Structure 1
Amino acid sequence: MKYLLLPVFILSEWILSAQNLVPNPGFDDIVDCPFECGQIYLAEPWVSATNSSPDLLNECSPHPFLQVPYAGTNFDSYQLPRSGSGYAFIITYYSGMVGSGAVGFYGLSEYIEVPLKEVLVHNTQYYIEFFVSPDITPMSFWGYTEPPALTLTDTFVYKEFNAMEVLPLEPVIEERVIIKDTVGWTRISGCYTAKGTEKFAIIGNFRSQTETLIEAIMPSYPDRCFYYIEDVLIMPFDPLPDTLLLCDKMPVKINAGFLDATYLWNTGETDSIITIFDIGIYTVEAFMENCILRDTVVVIDPEEVPGFPADTLICRDEPLRLSPPILGEYHWSDGSEENHLIVSSSGFYEVTVTNECGEFIFFTEVEVKDCACNVFIPNAFSPNGDGVNDFLEAFVGCDFDYQIKKFGVFDRWGGQVYSSSNGETIKWNGTARGKDVPVGVYVWVLEYEVFRNGVSERRTEKGDVLILR
């Protein structure tokens, strides 16, 4: 590797910010005031995931049961917004009879669904939370249930429900506890590592009637439970860059600040911001209410990076990928500005990388050769002692160093009649166990290693040979 450094300026602090991927998370941006039940769609882009009718509640509603803070199913329902002017409202459990107008006719639970602002990134950690409060009052009190859960899907979900059905989806965030706080808001939260295809979030009860946790205090009929839902958040935890440059060995601050987390670095520090003085690997753990998030940064000295390979040989059918070892803006000698260059012909290659530490120039010389090794083994020999073609020998010609690892000859039943290994001279006289083998065709197998640019590559050649006498 070769490079030149041209200093430009120094970075003193590194901060990355994350965004909530849930649009309209508090259901406050509405296209119209709700005036009847089942109008969650007015809080765009939220919709119902089934043929049930989840509600939108807001201060501006003219309907007495939809007007915050007195909104709910009971005359004495009351809940202040956690933020903004409204919230969503769904039924999560119902044990009534099936029939026209009965909630159970449209399933056990209602579900609200929203498209995310962007597709989740594979193997990235996400923190997910939303807040709930049960609509249980002295006027309508039978008991408590577990809260709704949240799942993520690759595609939009809509299902026409029959009685007591639930969506057959596995929740990614679920707290299987009984919620009894009817005054405040209870946080439902957790961490999730993405598959990389998730595009939609759905909130509801994904447990069947028999699976749902219930604590009945004053049993009535029908038993039912409604939940207010507020402030839905899905946020990636990726506060640190993958790689950070220590310019001119000057210290740099990194900030892992994330919501209301507490922190522990592998250095023992517990603040969200630490100062880096040396190269190395730095890992932070962010402790949330129900889970731990982790991120890592590799800090390098740009003057000590290993960089490009030394001037090298490549095979004609094996292109070389050149990638600068540091991030920045790239300008290659051929005019391209990608973060890598595929090389398939001989020549001199150079790239200039510009970043916060300055300009770095990396270059290397590449020579392309035909890497095929020529293996010659006669297709016949006559081990009859006349001094002509009495032995089977192998001849290998390579442009690179090589070593024969193993050579074997086999009869038509697969029995081995000759072998040599680890550099032994290949010279077979047509005998096996001290006796002449029969005239006929035999199969040979040659295994050898080729060494290029300090790397070994194992290869195998096969063929057949005829014994004559």
Structure 2
Amino acid sequence: MFLSGIATAQNLIPNGSFETYRNCPWQDNLLAEATPWYNPNRATPDFYHTCFQTGQMLLPPRSGQGAGRLFFDQGWAEYLGVRLTKPLNANECYYFEMYVVTDTPTKYQTETLGAYFSADPVTNPASTDRLVVQPQILDNAPQSSITRLQWQRIAGFLTAKGGEQYVTIGSFTKTPQFLGFYYLFVDDISLVPIKLDLGNDSTLCGRKSTLLLDATTPGASYYRWNDGSTKPTLLVTRPGKYSVTAVTNCKTLQDSITVNYALDFDLGADTTICNGQTLTLNVPTAAGATYRWQDGSRQNTLTVRAEGRYDIQVTQAGCVATDSIYVRYIRPPQLDLGPDQSLCGAQLFTIKPTLAEGKFSWLDQVPGIERTVSSSGVYRASVQNDCATALDSVYIDYEACDCILYAPNSFTPNGDGQNDQFLAYGCGDITITSLAIFNRWGEIVFQTATEPFQWNGYYRGKACETGVYAWSITYKLNQRGKIKPGQQQGSLSLIR
């Protein structure tokens, strides 16, 4: 990643993209035309620019119109040298970056190409051999990653000793094998201090204003804002204090900024109210502010009595803030569950709600609209729309007569599908909890405490004899919120 925005403002490498020149380079060996670059030894580095097509540029520059070129062979090492725009500060961290490309990747030598920073220029005008210095930045990319005619980044961090004001770029640790010579184009060279600056505290105008905070830090591998986001930028849409941490291999940086909003108001989201209602729109007062609604009124409040869009413009000094809201009117919801009911015994009742202008639902989440009930209780429902919610309830009372348990006095378990089971039932307020059947000697021939509470006339898999049996049922009676236990016995004739 070439940090163009940062490099442009802070790059300490002058003419790092080889864009400017003294005279258009019309042939090889003219690095001196790319001022202020110079040749550190007796070799002949090149400078090419699209101002003159020499045919030597095998691909376009990585950016802009110019690029440098180095040649390496046994006993021949070319370099690029330049004086920095200002000396480096002691113990300060800097990020270096450049891009290189070759048409012979198999000959490219890794762990040799880099950059050396020094207080004085490194030169050897009498030799073409490599310079014997230890570069602070060195390419360590694996050989397998080098691709023909594809720009590759060489980058690293430098902690300055102080006073370094020259950089020398080239091959420092190895020379090519016999017949291993190769060319290397170089472009977009930058050296920037590792700094993080979100800028000064700021005041924006109105809630619609935004501010893009840019924490992009040269060489940073990780960002974290106070809201948990991990991108180098953050879009501010509301007032507050914003802080960020950026982590590089050289050091960890932090910064914060407070963003305030002038004329910070909001009419709210579009809304719906009931016919006949009013809505008061309010904008907080601000010293020296003027107000103008869509109807020309100048107060900071406006009473809404009709459907439509309402706009406000507030002006204070050089700040103008606007907002709008759409108010919709609809009829209120309607619901009627009918009158309370007094029922008797096992009688069933179907509640048939009358409703309009909304979505219906039972408050106990029973599906459907009409509902058949068989026990005492209060049944509640609602009808809701964007205007309001209508609630209603109906009371069903089974205490109008005695709530009793019903049981047949005979049954015929002969498999004809009629009266084959002994089955007891009661009014809706009764919940049966157990059933027991006894023979004439008082022995239990059937017993259950789980539904269904019924007997098929068998005992241990064998049909019981015709005769008289006794039954005993326990139950719970639930009325007016009170639960009472109960028990009832009776006789039963089994007929086959």
TM-score, normalisation: structure 2: 0.42
Higher relative contact order (Cα pairs below 8 Å, separated by 6+ residues): 1
TM-score, normalisation: structure 1: 0.44
Q: Which structure: larger Rg?
A: 2
